[in-house]
Amino acid sequence: MSASNSKSVRFSVAPGGRLQGRLRVPGDKSISHRSIMLGSLAGGETRVSGFLEGEDSLATLDAFKAMGVRIEGPENGHVHIQGVGLYGLQAPPRPLDLGNSGTSMRLMAGLLAGQAFNVTLTGDASLSGRPMKRVVEPLTRMGAHIGTTDRGTAPLAIQGGAPLTGIDYDMPVASAQVKSSVLLAGLYASGTTCVTEPAPTRDHTERMLDGMGYPVQRAGNKVCLEGGHTLRGITIDVPADISSAAFFLVGASIASASDLVLEHVGMNPTRTGVIDILKQMGASIEIENRREVGGEPVADLHVRAAPLHGIEISPELVPLAIDEFPVLFVAAACAKGRTVLTGAEELRVKESDRIQVMADGLVALGIEATPTPDGMIIEGGSIIAGSVDSHGDHRIAMAFAMAALRAQGTIEISDCANVNTSFPGFVELASQSGLRINGI
């Protein structure tokens, strides 16, 4: 979507409202991406249900179609992939445009580093400004040849035919995308590839590799695999995305008389930091009907309105809630007292500088919010009516939409088109649940 069209999509959210009933948010984006990537590299068929039909996941799907993989769907969340094996991908006829998806670009950089053909990865203006050296550096150490701009950003020009060798990589920053990129390159490397994390990050790649029969060794904060094994097609039921559920967890917590059940939410222990943080703030969240689906834990989350209080967020929870901080900042704005976040400098290099953009928006809505190099200090208070710019960042747009539940007047949010990257149908689902929102 062009920048001019993107700027034209706005949310107008009237104050008040409460969230009630039962709902299932769209499928997990991280797992949807990986189901296409690994399903394409597997032998035989992979059948996916609950696939997220958002622009990011569809960018991954389209890229693998362009490399010769036969993929049917998505149709009502169902995708059928005819895998071509680890060495069955074909050179695409043109550069692969991955839109706004950092996950697609970083993971595919590793996966494509071991192919026999040349390929270029491009993206939109936002993605083209995001740091890629963090994956290019370890992949180069493995023997990959990847060109970037002088700033270390996309487009990424990957030269095929480079023999890869396994490395033992100590990650300087906790990042599931970097970890996954190196492991995916390791599928094509001679010897063993190991990644050591400074803090736990989401482990969907390891779980899916394991589920597809590829041996993965895990010990503490270290994960290793050997090149040369194969993947087999499987059936994948994608759970509801906890990052999308987070908006409703916060919304129901801050809006008086809310009582909401979120169904079939992914409860991977590397992703549940948002629940831990909200509970520490006093939220009423009950975890019901725990079960396991396709190697991933899921549950229903029952959330009721509750008075929240400010906390100091523990740094070890940061990687477990990295995508949820925009809406957690809204929770902090509605809490009594001060909330302090540190150790989250990663937020400055997401789809936007989420620390600065959220601080600017909260201040515009009457909240005392002070950005710091690696986090924010927020004094809980009263949210007034106002206008905020989401800077094309889907999570910022949805976070400020939930803020209207406690606002004194209407909140207008601009530049909201990218909500479709992760949460197609957000306006409709939020409206059905009780948020007084209009997409314009």
Q: Catalytic residue positions?
A: 323
What's the token pair of residue 10?
Answer: 């706005």
> Looking up tokens 């559920």, which residue turns up?
245
Asked if residues 246 and 274 have their Cβ atoms less than 8 Å apart, the reply is yes
Q: Radius of gyration of the chain from Cα atoms?
A: 21
CA distance 267 to 274: 11
* 413 φ, ψ (degrees, to nearest 5): -125, 125
- Helix (H) or strand (E) holding 402, with range, is helix 394-403
Could you tell me the end-to-end alpha-carbon distance of the chain, in angstroms, rounded to an integer?
Answer: 16
Exposure string for 149-169, b = 16+ CB within 10 A, e = fewer:
eeeebbbbbbeeebebebbeb
SS3 43: strand
CA distance 50 to 27: 5
How many Cα atoms within 13 Å fall on the side-chain side of residue 81? Answer: 34
- Helix (H) or strand (E) holding 287, with range, is strand 284-293
Nearest to 322 by CA among 182, 201, 170: 201
Asked if residues 54 and 424 have their Cβ atoms less than 8 Å apart, the reply is yes
SS3 145: strand
CA distance 25 to 157: 36
- Residue 62's DSSP bridge partners are none
DSSP conformation letters of 197-240:
-SS----HHHHHHHHTT---EEETTEEEEETT---B--EEEPPB
Asked if residues 46 and 35 have their Cβ atoms less than 8 Å apart, the reply is yes
**CA quadruple 318, 320, 322, 324: dihedral positive or negative?**
negative
How many Cα atoms within 13 Å fall on the side-chain side of residue 71? Answer: 29
What's the token pair of residue 175?
Answer: 């990042």
| Total count of residues recorded for the chain | 440
- Residue 222's DSSP bridge partners are 196, 219
